[in-house]
Structure 1
Amino acid sequence: MRILIVENEALIAEDIKDILEGAGHEVCGIAQSIRESCKLAKSRKPDVAFLDVDLGNGESGLDVSERLASDYGIPSIFLTDRSDFRVRIMALTAQPLGFVSKPYHPEDILDALTQAHI
C-alpha cells in the first residue's frame, strides 16, 4: 500500500514511516502542511494518508483530509494526542477511516490500516 504521512513532528513521522515500511508498505512522502501534502498527493498518488489532527502553524489535519478526499480521492486515518470528545466529533465530519491515539504502539498503526479495509 502507498501511504502519505502528514505530521509536523519529524521524529514521529519517521517512526511511523519505519513501522509502515517494516510491514511492507511504501511511504510515498512525508508532509508537514496542506500545501506539501497536496503536492505529494498529486505526484505520488497514495492509497491512504496518516494525518496528525493538529499540524501547528494554524493548519489542521482536518483541512488536509478534506482536501485530499475532495481533490484526489484519498482517504485518511487520523493521528491525535487529543482525546476530547469535541475533536473526535469534528474529525468525524471528514469521514476518516480510523483514529490512532498518541502515544501509539506499532501495532496501533498497522491495526488502523487493517481495520480500514482499503
Structure 2
Amino acid sequence: MTDSVRRVFIVEDEIMVAFEMVDLLEDMGFEIVGPSIHLEDAEAIARKQDIDIAFLDVNLGSGQTSQPVAETLRSRGIPFVFITAYNRDQIDFIDSGDKVLKKPLSGDMLARTLTQIEP
C-alpha cells in the first residue's frame, strides 16, 4: 500500500462482490468510499467526494456502464481501474492507457494494482 492512496471508491453492481472488495481493502488499511451499486449514486460520488483511486465495474446492469463515472474521475484527475469479466477488446470506451483488471478479483490483485497507481 502506498502512503498517498487512502480513500478507495468502489463501483460494483454485484453486491456480494462489492462487499468482498470492501472487506479486502479495509483489511489492507484503506478507507472505502461507497460502494456504489447504481450509476446515479456513483456519478454523484465521483463528482463530489474526496477519492484517491476508484475501482469501476464496467457493466452496471440494465444496459448501463461505468463510462460516465470514469469520465468524471478523469476530468478530476483521479486515477481509476476498470474491473470486468469481459476482455479488454470487448469494451469500446476503454482508452489504451486505462488499467483493466479481469474478474474474479483477489486481494493480491487489488494490492498489486494499488501499489502501481500514481494518485
Matched, 1:108 2:113: no
Count of aligned positions: 114
Deviations 1:31-70 (A, max 9, x none): 1233211322344311111000111112112232012222
Give the TM-score, by structure 2 length. 0.83
1:64-114 superposed Cα distances (whole Å, 9 cap, x missing partner): 2012222x3322111010015232x63126x43x22110122101111111
SS of the equivalent of 2:33 reads strand
Instruction: Give the letter aligned to residue 93 of structure 2.
Output: M
Q: Which residue of 1 aligns with 2:23?
A: 18
Higher relative contact order (CA 8 A, sep 6+): 2
Letter in 2 for 1:34: L
| Aligned-CA RMSD value | 1.8
2:3 counterpart residue number? none
Which residues in structure 2 correspond to 1:1-118 (within 5 Å)? Answer: 1-70=6-75, 72-83=76-87, 85-87=89-91, 90-92=93-95, 95-96=97-98, 98-118=99-119
Runs of 5+ in structure 1 lacking a partner? Answer: none
Q: Distance in 1 between matches of 2:42 and 2:93?
A: 20
Please list every run of 5 or more consecutive structure 2 residues that lacks an aligned counterpart in the other structure: 1-5
- Distance in 2, Cα, partners of 1:105 & 1:84: 19
- Gap change, CA 1:107 and 1:35, over 3 Å in 2: same
* Residue identity in the other structure for 1:113: L
Output the CA distance in 1 between the equivalents of 2:114 and 2:51: 13
Percent identity, aligned pairs only, is: 32
Check whether the contact 2:79–2:117 (CA below 8 A) recurs between aligned residues. no
Q: Tell me which protein shows more helix as a share of its residues.
A: 1
